[in-house]
Amino acid sequence: MPKDLSVKRVMVIGSGPIVIGQAAEFDYAGTQACRSLKEEGVEVILVNSNPATIMTDKNIADRVYIEPLTAKVLEQIIDKEKPDSILPTLGGQAGLNLGMELEESGFLASRGVRLLGTTASTIRKAEDRQEFKDTMERIGEPCAASLVVESVEDGVAFTRSIGYPVVLRPAYTLGGSGGGIAHNQTELENILENGLRLSRVGQVLVERCIAGWKEIEYEVMRDGAGNCITVCNMENIDPVGVHTGDSIVVAPSQTLSDKEYQMLRSAALNIINELQITGGCNVQFALHPASFEYCVIEVNPRVSRSSALASKATGYPIAKVAAKIALGYTLDEIKNAITGKTYASFEPALDYCVVKLPRLPFDKFITAKRTLTTQMKATGEVMSICDSFEGALMKAIRSLEQHVDSLLGYDFSALSREELEERLKKVDDQRIFVIAQALRKGVDYDTIHEITMIDRWFIDKISILVEMEQALKEGPLTVELLKEAKRIAFPDCVIGRLTGKSEEEIKKLRYRNGIVAAYKMVDTCAAEFEASTPYYYSVYGSENEAVETNPPKKVLVLGSGPIRIGQGIEFDYCSVHATWAFAKAGYETIIINNNPETVSTDFDIADKLYFEPLTPEDVESIVRLEKPDGAVVQFGGQTAIKLTESLMKMGVPILGTKAEDVDAAEDRELFDRILEQTRIPRAAGGTVYTAEQAKEVARRLGYPVLVRPSYVLGGQGMQIAISDEEIEEFMNIINRISQDHPILVDKYLQGKEIEVDAVCDGTDILIPGIMEHIERTGVHSGDSISVYPAPTITDTVKEKIAEYTRRLAKALHVKGLINIQFIAIGEEVYVIEVNPRSSRTVPYISKVTGIPIVDLATEVIIGKTIRELGYEPGLQREADYFAIKMPVFSFEKIRGAEISLGPEMKSTGECLGIAKTFNEALYKAFLGAGVDLPRHKQMIITVKDADKGEAIEIGRRFEKLGYTIYATRSTCNALKEAGVHAKKVNKISQESPTVMDLILGHRIDLVIDTPTQGRDKSRDGFLIRRTAIETGVNCITALDTARALVTSLENKQEQFTLIDVASI
Amino acid sequence: MVGRIVGLVCCLLCAFPFLVIGIYNRDSIEPVNFWSGDTSLKDKVKDVKGYNTEMTGLYKKCAFFFLMAGILFVIFPIAGIFLLKPSCSCAIIKRLCRRTAKKGSRYQMKAFLILEDGTVFEGTHIGADKEIISEIVFNTSMAGYLEVLTDPSYAGQAVCMTYPLIGNYGICLEDMESGRAWPDGFIVRELSRNASNFRKDITIQEFLNNQGIPGIAGIDTRALTKILRRKGTMNGMITTDASYDIHSILPRLKEYTTGRVVEKVTCTEKYTIQGSGGAGWRVALWDFGAKDNIAGSLVRRGCDVTVYPARTEAGKIIEDKPDGIMLSNGPGDPKECTQIIREIKKLYDTDIPIFAICLGHQLMALATGADTFKMKYGHRGGNHPVKDLETGRVYISSQNHGYVVDMDKLDPAVAVPAFVNVNDGTNEGLKYTGKNIFTVQYHPEACPGPQDSGYLFDRFIQMMQTKKGE
């Protein structure tokens, strides 16, 4: 079927801010789809509230709206832009839900706009639990049997019909409390009775227990003519029970015979055909490990995280093909862009093994429970490719950048066999390391399998790695052994550690014997056809396939690895833009990255893509082969910066700001000297190594002080300490990971926090704009609400900031990007931190000012000057609208995580509010972050004593908005004294009804809870905040944020000014 | 003096059997240990030859010890006794034996794959210990290695699997597509040492050994695939003889042809399988090397299937009055089957509904005047898209063929293309004009590969039904 010519203007809905479970993969999918639509001559109108994305660039879509993703806003955009169709299947669940809402309300029909791709009825069939179940039953595809019961008798009767064990899930209880697995009638009766009592609605879901079954996924494509193919299947190493996003996943499936593989494949096609999906779709199955029995777990009728993974694992561009299908093409009409010979109807054949590991945020949330459940917790993921499973696993482990480079990464050697077996029962992110230790201790495969239900084949592969450790330890290190160790991707440093040699010696030994990495192609067809735009992965002991090229200029762009809190999608934005800018300047570009969710790892972004870990050794292997003329590290976040020294040792020139200048910004003494020279003030402080030294410095400066390690991103480990005890505690936490660099202790200054991104060409500097944070200093800049243009500082301060920026950039010999944070106290300006590299705010400021600063920085790096690029140096004219960046958190996903804001970054994403006035922009920003108030007009205020004064004013304003205010005793008294009506509510320890009961009653809009200074010690505050978050109540922990919220609510409006960002 | 001589003789008597046993054992096919009690490492031996050579060394050492002891006896008896003592010490011998065994078990027998173009791949030996010359082909299926190994169409060929991890789920004997394994050799990147599946009967190593199939592992299968892609399918040799002489081998490789392999793979006697309930259509399956699931697919649809050997005369089949005739897949160059082609022409002339797969499809085309040619490297895998020209629908198919019907030389009055390959546009199926005959190049019976085209069997049954109705 040829292209549908009636489609001319398509609105694409993005997925909004990055949260756990909905990350960069949708930027990748959206970007690919938009480019694919534009390729077909279709006009693209893009809506996404996330400014850090590449899809919201003006060269990706024709019209770009960075607006809150709500039905109201979309309706207004539709009325303004008049698209003829909407493509909702590329923006994750958020985009899909919005598309459905618009369709169901009849709005789309009234405006003559149609949904492209999968139809609304299909989406309903796949998304609605009951309808899905009925559909599956009709076509004979089994689902896990389940029933909602309201009495013990019903539960027992139902269980008798489906058999034990069963999972019991009480409806509406906090975090599934009161549920469990029952293996017999006694257990069932006990749990069910308890669960029915705990459930607010007296309902418990009884479901057949499929925990421990193999979890298998299929990525399926179907076009409008009904042609179906499976792109890839994937096997989760962690059996059912762990969310696939948190599982170790391998592609293709390894332990399925052809009979099982084809049975599930046929089932997947059967389902997608019945649902009439057009485009991409993900089907998840649970397969009984000892029979052919299987259940359909779920179907995602859209592009998903798994499809991004499948795309990168196979080279098959799912989003691109899905977009073409939406335009009416059939699979046999769409060319496979990697081979240029085959068609999209060709199922990819892999001749390698892919392993995906999740990047979990437990290093940020040390109080959080590490247990992995059906609730996804990973913020990002890494993928690695090798010709053996062992090699792929080893590469994936070191790609995570968690100070772990082998299965020896976490030390469990103190545990006895029994303790290890006990520890294996705990399903967490360290389980494979525990398995490795259990194997070292001689626990047999069957025991491990029975406890973990992980297939013996995977256990054997882990055992092969453990045996290699042993063999290396026992020695002697023969050439044969070294070859074998490299074949399964042991890094030199680990081989060195095990054999008692240095990494350098191992490397020399390798080179002497010709044991070097070779690169193989990902080409979708297992070498059956020639490939035109492949990408590469390393193997040892095979022939090299990476095509040797000798362009005039060749540049290496280092990616930023897995998405984690503090290093998100922004750096991928920077890497991709830098790559494009270099390509435009005639360079051959090479990207190294390992994150399957990103745009940078798409096959057609750089001339060459190496899907490899970002460690010195892996990068060096590529450098040896490619011999680039230079490398840029300033766009890839801390991951790339950390590789600077190694790159210089390899003889690769660092383009842009020199490594020693980067050092100068991080090194306390060097930096102090620069500040002295440039006469720029900063908070007093000192560098320390031990707790004793820290206390000494702190006493000299006077409390409160800021304690933080140097060379980290996102303020990791940064804390405000108010006493010696706290210093002691924080130093302990910081020093849990051995520090190569000293720890900084600074006087904590409270003032307005200002942030600036600038481009410097060595002489001139271009400042696109100054951003001001709404929260006072002390809250990490990534977690603060950031306003451009800065609304409350005077012109004198602005000038001072521009001047300081210029002086600092020049003193640090910056060539490229620089990011500086200042504190403004009155007319005084102090420097907090200087980062001579790209920052989190770069995409945001580029978009709202229309100045493409990454492109400019890249041109500057190549040798152009700011004037040559057509810009007048200095601070640019302010825009005549406000753009407010709002942080978005994923606290509800991570049980036990402390949610109060502080110097350590905690947000996972951000959204933007852009409007003519400050108030409207603020309202939009809150709306974009999902704060849609008021609902019940009830709130709780409980603040620490120091905040009572400010809380009164905020309380009064909320009261005026019609809010009923509940407050704990002392806050209540303070409010009442000031004439604000407040109802007293009991603390948790007191008698019912307490604060908790109020929150759990689902009648509260908002909780304002400021934690006591420093690290909150009271369990009460922690519990209140956690409960609020887990019941979906908005919870604010900084009064500045609360004030901003009330301002936004006072200015709530229905009609918005819509700004096309592409026209800025 | 007499005592010394007796000592010498005793020692020589001891040394002699050690020497003889040692030399004899070197060529044993089973791993031989120093004494029968020690079996600890026997099952871990990968290279029997290497292991036995290592063990022979130990035997020889013992013989040498006794010899030395004997000589010493003559010169200096006390020393001789001293030397004898350790030779007879159980503990020492045990330790020596264990060490030698461990060393021997680490040996991996080398194997070489020598291609017609002179390329040599060095890897480790797997499977049976024999040297073969065969046509080297590659298969891109990611699962289903057992089905590939037992597909009679691979007779006369050695198969290279492009997916690098093979043997992961062992061998489930019920999945065999015929009574035995057919390829001459098996080429893989890595053979899994662990086999994990609830239906696993034996490991793939055991299977290759039992079936007498030699192979090579640990080679860069992707590099091999690329050579075959660029230069086309070629012949090759798998050998464990490290002192091969390439100059004498290359001409031998060039000479090799698969020959008339159909005769080797077809059944010897006619037999019938009763359908599982249903309509009871009587189908004649002409076996040129049929995969079991062809009969299986028909039987599951309620047909009684009578299987005829390849050399059967058409008349005999027609005499049995089947409702429909199924021409099976099979190995080799279709043009070699001159006799069968002549017989098939007789079937064409009847009005019995005919459905043909793969070789059967090519033979029917040849019988009706069309031509076939050898493709550069064929289609072997489970991911090829074929388009049904009648409906425009695309199906992913399981494929295994090196020859193809030449579309340019089709006479539309006889047959028209019904299916084409989406990637390279080659013919994938024919519909015979004015006849109840349709044939496909690919494998609707799947195993291994996608089951998307199973509907073709239904179409065949539909055809028989229509015919009967007339």
User: Does pLDDT of A586 surpass 70?
Assistant: yes
User: Does pLDDT of B82 surpass 80?
Assistant: no
Residue found under tokens 């030779």: B87
Query: What residue of A is the nearest CA neighbor of B420?
Result: A332
Q: Which of A351-355, A466-470, A941-945, B381-385 has the lowest average pLDDT?
A: A941-945
Query: What residue of B is the nearest CA neighbor of A265?
Result: B450
Query: Environment class of residue B15 by beta-carbon count within 10 Å: exposed (0-12), middle (13-18) or buried (19+)?
Result: buried
DSSP class per residue in B425-439: --EEEEEETTSSEEE
Cα–Cα distance measured from residue A821 to residue A353, given in angstroms and rounded to the nearest whole number: 44
User: Does pLDDT of A659 surpass 70?
Assistant: yes
How many other CB atoms are found less than 10 A from the CB of residue A505? Answer: 15
pLDDT tens readout for residues B380-418? 999 999 999 999 999 999 999 999 999 999 999 999 999
* Predicted local distance difference test score (pLDDT) of residue A14: 93
Q: Is the peptide bond before A289 cis (omega within 30 degrees of 0)?
A: no
Cα–Cα distance measured from residue A428 to residue A223, given in angstroms and rounded to the nearest whole number: 39
Partners of residue B193 in chain A, C-beta under 8 Å: 460, 464
Query: Environment class of residue A110 by beta-carbon count within 10 Å: exposed (0-12), middle (13-18) or buried (19+)?
Result: exposed
User: Does pLDDT of A824 surpass 90?
Assistant: yes
The 3 state secondary structure assigned to A99-153 is HHHHHHCCHHHHHCCEECCCCHHHHHHHHCHHHHHHHHHHCCCCECCEEEECCHH
Mutate to test the interface with B, among A481, A528, A547 (most CBs of B within 10 A): A528
Instruction: Give me the mean pLDDT over the A313-323 stretch.
Output: 94
Mean pLDDT of chain A: 90
* Predicted local distance difference test score (pLDDT) of residue A1013: 52
Q: Which residue has the higher pLDDT, A310 or A363?
A: A310
Instruction: Give me the mean pLDDT over the A722-742 stretch.
Output: 76
Binned at pLDDT 50, 70 and 90, residue B236 comes out as: very high
Q: Which of A502-516, B28-42, B268-282 has the lowest average pLDDT?
A: B28-42
* Predicted local distance difference test score (pLDDT) of residue B135: 96
How are beta strands A249-251 and A228-236 bridged, if at all?
A: antiparallel
Distances (CA, A) of A138 to A158, A207, A221, A927, B112: 21, 20, 22, 41, 55
User: Does pLDDT of B31 surpass 80?
Assistant: no
Alpha-helix residue ranges (DSSP H) falling in A585-690: 616-626, 637-641, 644-649, 659-666, 668-678
Contact B111, B240 (CB under 8 A): yes
| Backbone φ and ψ of A378, nearest 5° | -70, 140
Binned at pLDDT 50, 70 and 90, residue A1014 comes out as: very low
Partners of residue A543 in chain B, C-beta under 8 Å: 220, 222-223
Cβ–Cβ pairs < 8 A, chains A and B: 162
Partners of residue B162 in chain A, C-beta under 8 Å: 349, 351, 526-528
User: Does pLDDT of A391 surpass 70?
Assistant: yes
Give helix then strand counts, H and E, for chain B.
14, 19
User: Does pLDDT of B372 surpass 60?
Assistant: yes
User: Does pLDDT of B47 surpass 80?
Assistant: no
∠ CA A185-A186-A192, nearest 5°, is 85
Q: Which residue has the higher pLDDT, A947 or A76?
A: A76
How many other CB atoms are found less than 10 A from the CB of residue B85? Answer: 11
Q: Highest mean pLDDT range out of A178-182, A641-645, A902-906? A: A641-645
Residue B451: which of A253, A262, A343 has the nearest Cβ?
A262
Token pair for residue A732?
A: 């302990």
Residue B223: which of A225, A346, A543 has the nearest Cβ?
A543
Strands (E), B245-360: 271-273, 282-286, 304-308, 324-327, 354-357
CA distance B109 to chain A (A): 14
User: Does pLDDT of B126 surpass 90?
Assistant: yes
Binned at pLDDT 50, 70 and 90, residue A737 comes out as: low
Q: Provide the 3-class DSSP secondary structure of residue B391.
A: coil
Please answer yes or no on whether B163 and A349 come within 8 Å at the CB atom. yes
* Predicted local distance difference test score (pLDDT) of residue A714: 53
Cα–Cα distance measured from residue B115 to residue B121, given in angstroms and rounded to the nearest whole number: 8
User: Does pLDDT of B252 surpass 90?
Assistant: yes
Token pair for residue A113?
A: 């706009």
Instruction: Give me the mean pLDDT over the A107-114 stretch.
Output: 94
Binned at pLDDT 50, 70 and 90, residue B103 comes out as: low
Which active-site residues of B does the annotation give? 358, 443, 445
Q: Which residue has the higher pLDDT, B85 or B330?
A: B330
Please answer yes or no on whether A460 and B193 come within 8 Å at the CB atom. yes
User: Does pLDDT of A912 surpass 60?
Assistant: yes
Residue B189: which of A255, A257, A387 has the nearest Cβ?
A387
User: Does pLDDT of A172 surpass 80?
Assistant: no
In percent, the amount of chain A with pLDDT more than 90 equals: 65
Q: In which element (H, E) is residue B165 found?
A: strand B165-166
Q: Provide the 3-class DSSP secondary structure of residue B78.
A: helix
Residue A259: which of B175, B196, B229 has the nearest Cβ?
B175
Mean pLDDT of chain B: 90
Q: Which amino acid is at B163?
A: Y
Instruction: Give me the mean pLDDT over the A371-379 stretch.
Output: 88
ipTM of this model?
A: 0.91
Query: Environment class of residue A480 by beta-carbon count within 10 Å: exposed (0-12), middle (13-18) or buried (19+)?
Result: exposed
* Predicted local distance difference test score (pLDDT) of residue B349: 94
Cα–Cα distance measured from residue A803 to residue A77, given in angstroms and rounded to the nearest whole number: 41
Query: What residue of B is the nearest CA neighbor of A225?
Result: B393
pLDDT tens readout for residues A147-168? 888 888 999 999 988 888 888 8
Token pair for residue A857?
A: 């920085």
Mutate to test the interface with B, among A216, A235, A292, A351 (most CBs of B within 10 A): A351
Q: Which of A92-101, A561-570, A1036-1045, B83-92 has the lowest average pLDDT?
A: B83-92
Binned at pLDDT 50, 70 and 90, residue B38 comes out as: low
Q: Provide the 3-class DSSP secondary structure of residue A942.
A: strand
pLDDT tens readout for residues A892-904? 888 788 888 888 8
Q: Provide the 3-class DSSP secondary structure of residue A465.
A: helix
Q: Which amino acid is at A596?
A: P
Partners of residue B198 in chain A, C-beta under 8 Å: 289-291
Candidates B101, B20, B3; CA nearest to B63 is: B20
Instruction: Give me the mean pLDDT over the A463-488 stretch.
Output: 93
Instruction: Give me the mean pLDDT over the A246-265 stretch.
Output: 96
First to last CA, chain B: 109
Residue A457: which of B168, B189, B385 has the nearest Cβ?
B168
CA distance A445 to chain B (A): 11
First to last CA, chain A: 39
Binned at pLDDT 50, 70 and 90, residue A808 comes out as: very high
Candidates A157, A159, A204; CA nearest to A178 is: A204
Contact A238, A212 (CB under 8 A): no
Q: Which of A247-256, A1052-1061, B344-353 has the lowest average pLDDT?
A: A1052-1061
User: Does pLDDT of A416 surpass 70?
Assistant: yes
How are beta strands A815-825 and A743-747 bridged, if at all?
A: unpaired
In percent, the amount of chain A with pLDDT more than 70 equals: 97
What angle do helix axes A659-666 and A668-678 make, rounded to 10 degrees?
90
Instruction: Give me the mean pLDDT over the B288-313 stretch.
Output: 95
Binned at pLDDT 50, 70 and 90, residue B36 comes out as: low
Instruction: Give me the mean pLDDT over the A464-488 stretch.
Output: 93
* Predicted local distance difference test score (pLDDT) of residue A174: 53
Q: Which amino acid is at A844?
A: Y
Please answer yes or no on whether A289 and B198 come within 8 Å at the CB atom. yes
* Predicted local distance difference test score (pLDDT) of residue B334: 96
* Predicted local distance difference test score (pLDDT) of residue A32: 94
CA distance A211 to chain B (A): 18
CA distance B230 to chain A (A): 9
Binned at pLDDT 50, 70 and 90, residue A2 comes out as: low
Instruction: Give me the mean pLDDT over the A720-731 stretch.
Output: 82
Query: Environment class of residue B315 by beta-carbon count within 10 Å: exposed (0-12), middle (13-18) or buried (19+)?
Result: exposed
Binned at pLDDT 50, 70 and 90, residue A717 comes out as: low
pLDDT tens readout for residues A835-872? 999 999 999 999 999 999 999 999 999 999 999 999 99
Quote the pTM value. Answer: 0.92
Binned at pLDDT 50, 70 and 90, residue A690 comes out as: confident
Please answer yes or no on whether B143 and A258 come within 8 Å at the CB atom. yes
CA distance B196 to chain A (A): 6
